[in-house]
Amino acid sequence: MPETLPATRCGNTLLRWGEKTYIMGVVNLSPDSFSGDGLGDDIEATVDQAQRMVAEGADIIDVGGESTRPGTEPVTINDIDDELRLVIPAIERLAAEISVPISIDTYKSGVATRAVKAGAGMINDIWGLKKDPAIAKVAAEAGVPVVLMANERDAPPKAGIMAKVLADLQYGIKTALEAGIAPQDIIVDPGIGFGKTLEQNLELINRLAELKRLGKPILLGTSRKSMIGMVLDLPPEKRLEGNLAVTAIGIANGADIVRVHDVRQTELVCRMSDAIIRRGSVDD
């Protein structure tokens, strides 16, 4: 059994790292989501999808209102009206109707502030506090955990991808701690697909265990991403089997949370992987 990390409180759930792999179900509200699953402002469809994911085994529901697909022009951290219009009503409804914590997928402190007040119990920052460091203060004051992603889209590295990812995450951890976020409330994400080449993405998954040196739980998000499409020559909606393979390998290499669109199939892979990997020591 790997060394146990301190548990993390997320909403009404205590995440006990090492006991199981937690599943984060993706609820995209952006109409131009890369995977074609954006729900827009259809609240009933959002609630239905989240409830289905919870029934299938999701431990956290991650709600996002801005597309992060490659090539999308990002909005400024102060331009938040459209994002708020999508995510706040959805979070308010979900907080009242589902039993698992809600994560807000945003890198803007203004959105995070409103989302936490609406009921979000986690902040998932794809820029690892580099775009809007004030989001760390939001998490600290609310006492909610934050996911810090290593994002290389501003300056894609030509070599040394693991060193670059570790440096990015160390920066994020330092910034988070200085803002007052509790050490056990920091989760790291290598940022598969964000400013990395195919070979760099594959290398990161293969070497994922090296992130354990940071002493933080690891989130792995590869669901339907172009890395899988490039290897298998398949569109986003046909990348399930590829992602299930990546999920099993990721768990073997230390992933504590997997962020996915296909919860039912992933839950089976997680249970089987956990039965092998997290079974503890057995006497001969």
Mean pLDDT over the full length of the chain: 92
- The pLDDT tens digits for 122-179 are 999 999 999 999 999 999 999 999 999 999 999 889 899 999 999 999 999 999 999 9
pLDDT of residue 108: 96
**Once rounded to an integer, what is the mean pLDDT over residues 204-215?**
98
pLDDT of residue 283: 46
The pair of three-digit structure tokens given for residue 218, joined into one six-digit string: 């690891």
Find the angle CA(13)-CA(17)-CA(19) to the nearest 5 degrees: 95
pLDDT of residue 279: 80
Residue 207 catalytic? Answer: no
CB burial of residue 8 (10 Å; 0-12, 13-18, 19+) = buried
Q: By the 8 A CB rule, do 43 and 90 touch?
A: yes
Which has more confidence, 271 or 67?
Answer: 271
The pair of three-digit structure tokens given for residue 83, joined into one six-digit string: 């994002």
Residue 63 phi, psi dihedral angles, 5° rounding: -105, 125
pLDDT of residue 126: 97
Q: What is the DSSP string of 209-253?
A: GGGGGG-S-BEE--TT-HHHHHHHT--GGG-HHHHHHHHHHHHHT
What DSSP state is assigned to residue 35?
Answer: T
Q: Please name the fold of domain 9-275.
A: TIM Barrel (3.20.20)
- Between helix 81-97 and helix 43-56 the angle, nearest 10°, is 50
Residue 93 catalytic? Answer: no
CA distance 158 to 217: 27
Q: Which of 259, 271, 278, 279 is catalytic?
A: 259
CA distance 233 to 200: 18
pLDDT of residue 71: 55
- The pLDDT tens digits for 29-84 are 986 554 445 567 789 999 999 999 999 999 999 999 987 665 555 556 667 998 99
Residue type, 137: K
CA distance 222 to 246: 8
Q: Which of 131, 216, 225, 239 is catalytic?
A: 225
Q: By the 8 A CB rule, do 5 and 216 touch?
A: yes
Segment (H or E) for 34: none
**Once rounded to an integer, what is the mean pLDDT over residues 8-34?**
89
Q: Closest Cα partner for 223 from 58, 43, 5?
A: 58
- Chain centroid to CA 96: 22
Label residue 94 by pLDDT band (50, 70, 90). very high
Residue 16 phi, psi dihedral angles, 5° rounding: -100, 95
Residue type, 272: M
Which has more confidence, 42 or 108?
Answer: 108
Q: Closest Cα partner for 173 from 207, 236, 128?
A: 128
Look up the pTM and report it: 0.93
